[in-house]
Structure formats: C-alpha cells, structure tokens
C-alpha cells in the first residue's frame, strides 16, 4: 500500500456501540455465550437440547458423544453462561429428584442465528455454485 492510500486517523470510522445502554446483558456475558457454544461438545449438547426441548442428564449423555466427567463439565458451562437451564423434578413414584436440562431463549437464539445460520449459508452457496 502506497503512502497516498493510507487513511488519516480522522477518516477512520468507529462502529456503533454493540449494545444499547439499557442492555440486560453485558458485552462480556454475550462473548462468554459465544465462547461456550464454540466448543464442539457444548455445541452438540445445546443442539440436542434444542431438538428435544428438555432431557434428563442421563438421556442427554446417552445421545451426546462425550466422556462422563467432560460431559458434566460442558453441560455446567452452558448453564453458567445462560444457554441452558436445569431444573429438578420429583416424580410421584420416586424417592429423589431427577435433573432435567432445557435450552434457554438465548441458547435457542445463539444456535439458530449464529453457528447454524452460517452453516445454512454455506449449504446455500454450495447448492448455488455446484
């Protein structure tokens, strides 16, 4: 790039703030969500939850290919950042509680409008140019 192609610092545009002032979440919280879904195991867990609405940890672990200690760690990460939630429920015929997991609205949103949107676009481009 030649000297005449350089912009002066006055000509460089600043992007708008990423969030409105009254945002319910901070930028760091949104970035933590993005980082969480960026791991393959967490992506598979969240995708499975979205496909099923709610699953017990046992059923979810059966479907997602992950080692038991790692599975619970990754599931906990999704809960910690707000992409999944857990609830405990006692059934009439049981002595204890069962833990169930389901995606939050944010979990559904980041999956549908984030990573999966990029994958849909790739399929569209592939179909268009094949």
27-127: CATH topology:
Arc Repressor Mutant, subunit A (1.10.10)
The helix (H) or strand (E) run that includes residue 70 is helix 68-81
Q: Give the percent of the chain with pLDDT over 90.
A: 45
Report the interhelical angle of 40-52 vs 68-81 (nearest 10°).
70
Rounded to the nearest 5°, which phi and psi values hold at 101? -125, 145
Mean pLDDT for the chain overall: 86
pLDDT band at 102 (very low <50, low <70, confident <90, very high): very high
> How much is the pLDDT for 81?
95
At residue 91 the predicted structure's pLDDT band, cuts being 50, 70 and 90, is low
CB 46 within 8 A of CB 68: no
Residues 6+ apart with CB under 8 A from 81: 29, 32, 33, 35, 36
Q: How large is the average pLDDT for residues 79-103?
A: 85
**Rounded Cα distance, 42 and 75, in Å:** 7
Global pTM reads: 0.77
Comparing 115 with 72, the larger pLDDT belongs to: 72
pLDDT tens-digit map of 1-36: 455 567 677 888 989 988 888 988 888 998 899 899
């Amino acid at each position: 790039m030649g000297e005449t192609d350089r912009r002066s610092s006055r000509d460089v545009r600043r992007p708008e703030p990423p969030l409105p002032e009254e945002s319910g979440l901070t930028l760091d919280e949104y970035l933590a969500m993005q980082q969480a879904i960026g791991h393959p195991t967490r992506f598979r867990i969240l995708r499975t939850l979205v496909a099923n609405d709610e699953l017990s940890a046992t059923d979810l672990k059966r479907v997602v290919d992950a080692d038991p200690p790692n599975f619970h760690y990754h599931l906990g990460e999704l809960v910690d950042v707000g992409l999944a939630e857990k609830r405990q429920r006692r059934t009439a015929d049981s002595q204890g509680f069962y833990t169930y997991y389901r995606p939050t609205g944010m979990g559904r949103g980041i999956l549908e409008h984030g990573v999966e949107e990029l994958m849909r676009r790739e399929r569209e481009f592939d179909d268009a140019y094949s």
